[in-house]
Each structure stands twice: as structure tokens, then as C-alpha cells.
Amino acid sequence: MTAVAKVIVDVPTMQTDKPFDYAIPAALAGQIQPGMRVWVQFGRGARQVAGMVVAVNAAADYDGDLKPILAVLDYTPVLNAEGLALSQWLAQTTFAFWITCIQTMLPTMLKIETIKTAVLGPKPTPAAQALLGDRAGLPLADLDEAATAQVLRLVQSGALTLHYARKDRATVKTQDYVVPDAEADYAALRVAVRPNATKQLQLLDLLAQWQAAHETPAVAAVTADTGLVRADLVAGAKRGWLTLEAREVYRAPYAQLDDQPHTAPLTLTSAQAAVTTAIQAAVTATRAETFLLEGVTGSGKTEVYLQVIAAALAQGRNAMMLVPEIALTPQMVHRVKGRFGATVAVMHSGLSDGEKFDEWRRIQRGEARVVVGARSAAFAPLTNIGVFIIDEEHESSYKQDDAPRYHARDVILHRAATHHAPVVLGSATPSLESRARAAKQVYTPLMLPQRINAHPMPTVHIVDMRDAYKRGGKDDFSKDLLDALALRLARGEQSVLLLNRRGYSSFVMCRECGFVVQCPNCDISLTLHMDTHTLRCHYCGHEEPIPTVCPSCGSKKIRYYGTGTQKVEQSLHTLLPEARVLRMDVDTTRRKGGHERILSAFGAGEADILLGTQMIAKGLDFPNVTLVGVINADTGLGMPDFRASERTFQLLTQVSGRAGRADKRGEVFIQSFNPEHYAIQFAQHHDYEGFFRHEMTIRHRGDYPPYYFTTKLTVSHPDEDEAAKAIFSLAAQLRKALSPTAIVLGPTPGAIARLKNRYFYQLVIKYKREPQLDQTLKAILDETQAASRNGFFVAIDREPQNFM
């Protein structure tokens, strides 16, 4: 009887979304464990793919001849038992393929690339010969669609054969070290060296010192400090005086922060102490309790997180803290690294693949004990976790829009149950869902109602933009905001200006005929990028030059529309010529370290005004900022989304919180065309609880979350009729299967009806309790995806954050 490995292969389709049995060859017996990547042959033909071993059994469930595992790609498992179980849970709860979930959990560098090459035979034809020319093989990756189709036809007729090879992208960085010979008598060797060979003498002296001190210095350090060059060391190695040893080093993204002295914990205020004690009690009791920490901006939530983490570490356990991507500012990293140093691993999308891989390995090897990261860090292979923290828990960026469509909060709550550890959800503006759960005591409510040192909240002025121009406003600025900016300049204080980009983009339109330049592949207008002087599609990446004449009517009156940050920056230069402005948006932060550079320049007082998009709203703590201006508060209110008011309230509250955090009083100006809107009114008064109650009545009236659950179903197909037919039949099927209290909204065309040349239709199910729903949806997936050869894609999104 052969031992059998159950393998999930890297072929993401419905038919292959289950483990397949492979024989473990005698040579690999005992070596293969669950959580290791393997290389196997799959299906008929020569196709070879990577896979993940999810179980090892003594005997097969299948009694035909089993194919053998061809190679093992890992020495130790890359997913532990918790990780494997988590990947399976993720696949079930998000309706995603298991292999997709596994890949989401692992660093990109561990994804094995399959390289397909077409070679001649077994029945070569002149056409096949001509296609190859004098090449031995034709890599398929280099071919366009038409050429690929031709190759595949030739493969079917036997004129060509496909070859499969694998490419492992994981690279380990090494650095050379000087290892003195422990036995050598360097003093004796010195005597034999000519007196004018000064480099050799110097090297022998150094070797004697290192030998005595048991040191093995890095080559780079030696050449930097001693005047010796690498060639001197290589020559020494040839003489047998030393060996050069390549050792693995980590690409450490924040190494410069690791050697600084740690910051001391602050003396907690009594409010902070009360919440910290409550959380620490759950850590000590290993109780998977969920806390909702509602604390106004500047109330000292971060200090609470740090002290809770310290408590877990003191008990020999580890800690995980999630922060929204855009709040993962250098300031936040500095605060956590500043307290815990090199034991902190940081994971976010700004790191290179190599850095991410190395941080992941430090966690996996138990060398990092605190993980700070954005959404996907929820999957970090940290073990023995004593506490989980999610800062700004209301942020929609915790939900992934693509498969697997998971919410990091759900992943954390699931892991917390496994680890018997508490979860802290922190926010100044909790999501309605979480706040409602706290009201029902599903989560334990904790409050920090005041700023540290009883600093007052900033005064918020709402500026009615409907008559702003009559009252002396210019460009996008009211006179009130301009005067406030000028006052800060005069006082030498700093200002933060937010341009709300939600639901808004800059585009190009003809003034004569109204023509708007659109993407040829998607039903959406192209966005203007001044830095590259191009128009770009944010969905498919299509890029083209900015037209100078209208492609539709030939008029030269084709103009830019909308208020981009660049345009606001230009107006600032005209209106306040003496102001030094720093701009922070996708264009200025695209390059690595862009965030860091802008923020440290602002922190160092090199600018008077920081102008930016949503990314400036969070986590910034600059004592000299006394003014926050919001240029366009309500662009997001018009979005066709029941969370539009909630998002606007959250954004305005967060950005207002950047003002007056230290001793100087803060002031906020919110420019709005809807000054009476309740989201703006409650934000003006820092009244989260008021907003919560008001918004809950609206949600109740409209049968929306948190009163109802929602699930979105999207169908797409290259042919519009096919997509429409499919969604209407699915809607009918669902209406029949669900209880009368469930509501099916739609079907409707997607907000962007055509994307990358596929047509999208969607429906939304609202429901309270539907025990059959998961089964029905799974059945729908099975049926429709079986037809995926026919070009259908079905996506199921539980609790979508985006209804577009």
C-alpha cells in the first residue's frame, strides 16, 4: 500500500476545486507533510502544475493507478495546521476556490510559475516547423492570443507538444562574512609575510583580533571600516587564512528603526487605564472576547494598543495589529517599532516582494513576535497569538473586492477563536455593524470619550458653498477658508487640506459637443494624469495621450474637468503665493518611500500646507497643525450606495481629528453644497452617537444592514444578451428558493456595465435568516461555472462594501 498525498492543484476551476490523490514515491516517503508545495502532473497529457498538500493518508480513496508526486518544493511546510484549516474556512465562507485562498495567504514569491513551451512532434508538419524556425521551443507566454490559438491547434493535431517547467521565484538574499580559522596561529603566519606586504599584515592582525573575540564580521563592514578591499579578503581566503561564508540576510524594510532605544510606555490616563485593564484581563484569561473601543480622535487609542501588546508579550504570547493600508503611515510604524523594535514585522503593499517574503519568513520562524500590517497581514503565519487589534475597524479597505472576497475582521475573529485571544476593534467612528453588535453586548463596548489632557475637540465651521462666490470665494476656495489659511501663514502654523476624491474623477470633455473621452474596453471615462500627460483607465490600465482636438466634432475646445489635486495646488500658488505647499496623492506617492518623504518634510516644517486626498485623513499626528480644510465635503454623498452618509461622516470626523492635537487650539472648515445634510451636521458636532442613532433609523426604514444581511451576485459574459439572460434566470431561481422575507434587488446592469470587454449584471439579496442561502449559492456556482468554457463568470460577494 502506498502512502497518498491529497493535493489541491493550482488550476482554479470549479471542477478542480477539491483535493486529488497522488502517490508518494518511496524516495519521498516520510518527507511530505501537509502544508508543503509539490509539483505534479495533472489531467491527461503532459501538463504539470504546482499544488499544495492538504493531507497525507496511509492509503488511497481511489483504487486506480495513482500518479506520483514529481517533486517537493519545500523543506518545511509553508502553511501550518492552522493556516490550512483557515484556507479551507476562507474558501467555504467566501465562495472562492481553495487554491485561490491558499495563494492569497502566502507571499507572492511563493507562487510557482509554470512555464509552457511548445516543441516539435510527435507528428511534425511543415507549418509547425515554420512556426518554430530554428528555435528548439516556443515559450507560450510570449505569444498573443491568435498565435496561442494556432499553437494549441497544432498541439491537438500532434504537430507540437507542450512542455512544462516550473520557475520558483523565491530568492533568499545573502551576504558574505569573514570567518577566521579557529586553529590558525596568526602570529606565526605573520612572520612569514614580507614586511612591505602591508595589506596582508593588516589582515593577519585583524584576523588575530577576530579569532580572539570569536567575531565573524561582514565583508561589507570590514571593507567600510579598515581600508582593506574585497580582493584582499579573497586573497586571504585563497591562502587558507580565513573562509568567506555566505549567510542569509533579511531584506528588512525598516531596519534603521530597529536599533533605536525603545520608547517607554506612557502613564495612562484613568480612562485609558480602565480600558487597558479590561482587555488585559481577557488576554490573561485567554478569552476570545471582542471589544469595541470607541474613542474620539486623539483620545490615545494607539497607546492603549501598545500597552495591550506589551501585556501579551510579557505573558509569552504574540500580537497582531491591523491598520488600514492608507493609515499605515511611517508615523504608525515608528510608534510600534519605537516601542518593540526588531521584534515587529511590518507588512503592507508598499514593500517589495522580497521584503514581504523576508518579513513573512521572520514571522514564520518565530523571530518576529508583533505583526503590524494591512488587510492581508491577517493571514500572517504568527503562532501563539495573545491579542488581535484592528485599528480604524470601520475602514472599507479591510474588505477585499476580488476573490477571495473576505473581510479581514472576519478572518481575525475566526483566528481569535482558534487562539483563545481577545480582539480589540478600535475607531472614532465604528461601522454601524460593529456599533450595533456592541449595543447588543455581542461585543464588549469600551469608551475613550475625551482627548488626551482634555484637549478640546476642534471647532468645526460649515461653509455654504452655494453663495461662496458672492461672498468673495475664488476657484475652489471660500473666503472663510482662504482667510483661515492666511491666518495660519501669519502665525507660522500648519494646515491640512483634504480634496475628497470619492465618487469623483478628473476627465476630459469637449465644450462644443459634450464628448467625454472613454475607455475603448470599459464603459467609463478615462482619468487625467498630469504627471505623465496621459489619460488612463483605472480598471483595465488602457492609456492614451490627451487629445488636443475633439475626436467627435473636431473642435479645439476640449478641456479638463474636475478638481484634481494638481489644479488645487495651482490655485493655492496664485491665491496664497507665499505658502509652501506639499501635495500628497497617488501621483506623488507612487514611488517607494513617497509617503515617508512627504510626511517627514511636513513634520520638519518644510511646508505650510499639506494638500491631499483621503490618504491624509488618517493617523497623522502633527502638533503644529491647527487648521483642517475640506474643499468638497459632499462629492461622496451622491454615490448610489446606502453607506454614502456613513462614509462621509467618517471621513469628515477623521480629517477633523488632525487639527489641534497638541496645545494649540484646532479649527476646521468644511465646504459643502449640502450644509444641512445630517452627516455633515453630526460631523460638525463630533457627535458619533447622534449620527449612529439617526443612521440606524434610516437603515431600519430601508431594510439595510445592520438590520439585514446583504449578498451581491454578479454575472459577466463577453456577450451582453448571455449575461442578461443568465442573471434573470438566477434571480428567478433565487426568488423561488428563498423565504418570503428575503428581498432580491435587481437584476441591474453593473454600475460600469462593460469592463475589459465583458458585460456585467448584478443582483443584491437582502435577508435576515436564510439557512438555505449558502447551499443555493453554491449550487448556482457549480451550475454556472461548469459552463465557464462558455465564458461565464459568477462572483458572489457576501456583505459587499461596494455596490457599484
| Chain contacts with ligand ADP (rule: CB under 6 A) | 266-269, 272, 295, 297-303, 452, 621, 661
By CB under 5 A, name the one of 190, 199, 479, 542 that touches Zn ion.
542
SS3 615: helix
In the sheet with 344-347, reading across from the earlier edge strand, the strands are: 344-347, 370-373, 318-322, 385-391, 423-427, 290-295, 444-448
* C-alpha cell at position 161: 507538444
Chosen from Zn ion, ligand ADP, none, partner binding at 519 (C-beta under 5 to 8 Å by type)? Zn ion
Contact of residue 229 among Zn ion, ligand ADP, none (CB under 5-8 Å per partner type): none
Residue 535 in contact with residue 526, Cβ under 8 Å? yes
28, 516, 540, 745: residue in contact with Zn ion (rule CB under 5 A):
540
Q: Which does 300 bind (CB under 5 to 8 A by kind): ligand ADP, Zn ion, none?
A: ligand ADP
The alpha carbon of residue 620 and the mean position of all alpha carbons in its chain are separated, in whole angstroms, by 19
Q: How far is the CB of 273 from ligand ADP (least distance, A)?
A: 9
Instruction: Tell me the closest approach of the beta carbon of residue 758 to Zn ion, in angstroms.
Output: 11
- What phi and psi values does residue 84 have, to the nearest 5 degrees? -65, -45
Could you give the count of Cα atoms lying within 13 Å of 174 in the half-sphere of its Cβ?
8
Per CB under 5 A, does 363 bind Zn ion?
no
| Among 537, 582, 639, 683, interactor with Zn ion by CB under 5 A | 537
512 binds Zn ion (CB under 5 A): yes
From Zn ion, ligand ADP, none, interface partner of 513 (C-beta below 5 to 8 A by class): Zn ion
- Report the alpha-carbon distance of residue 415 to residue 418 in Å, rounded: 5
Among 2, 161, 10, smallest CA distance to 68 is for 2
Binding partner selected for residue 515 from ligand ADP, Zn ion, none, CB under the kind-specific 5 to 8 Å limit = Zn ion
> In the complex with Zn ion, which residue's Cβ is closer, 282 or 510?
510
For residue 112, what is the DSSP state? P
| CB-nearer residue toward ligand ADP: 524 or 651 | 651
Q: Which does 723 bind (CB under 5 to 8 A by kind): ligand ADP, Zn ion, none?
A: none
Q: Which of 202, 397, 450, 521 binds Zn ion (CB under 5 A)?
A: 521
Give burial (CB, 10 Å; 0-12/13-18/19+) of 733: middle
Kindly write down the DSSP assignment for every residue of 444-506, as one continuous string: EEEEE-S-GGGPPPPEEEEEEGGGTTTTT-BTTB-HHHHHHHHHHHHHT-EEEEE---TT---
Binding residues among 632-671 for Zn ion as defined by CB under 5 A:
none
Picking from 564, 563, 546, 474, the residue whose alpha carbon sits closest to that of residue 510 is 546
Does 526 help bind Zn ion (rule: CB under 5 A)?
no
Could you say which of Zn ion, ligand ADP, none residue 512 binds, taking C-beta under 5 to 8 angstroms by partner kind? Zn ion
Which C-beta is closer to Zn ion: that of 556 or that of 573?
556
Smallest distance, Zn ion to C-beta of residue 96, A: 24
Of 80 and 269, CB closest to ligand ADP: 269
Q: Report the residue from 154, 160, 510, 633 that binds Zn ion according to the rule CB under 5 A.
A: 510
Per-residue cell: 673: 453644497
Cα gap 770→739, rounded to integer Å? 7
Q: How far is the CB of 48 from ligand ADP (least distance, A)?
A: 51
Q: How far is the CB of 754 from Zn ion (least distance, A)?
A: 9
Shortest gap between Cβ of 472 and ligand ADP (angstroms)? 35
User: What DSSP string runs through 169-202?
Assistant: -----EEEEEEE-TT--HHHHHHTS-TT-HHHHH
Please choose which of ligand ADP, Zn ion, none residue 221 contacts, taking the beta carbon within 5 to 8 angstroms, the exact cut-off set by kind. none
Q: At what angle do helices 688-701 and 644-656 cross, to 10 degrees?
A: 170
| Residue owning grid cell 484569561 | 285
Q: Of these partners, ligand ADP, Zn ion, none, which one is at the site of residue 234 (CB under 5 to 8 Å by kind)?
A: none
Instruction: Find the shortest distance in angstroms from Cβ 515 to Zn ion.
Output: 4
Binding residues for Zn ion, rule: CB under 5 A, are: 510, 512-513, 515, 519, 521-522, 537, 539-540, 542, 550, 552-553, 555
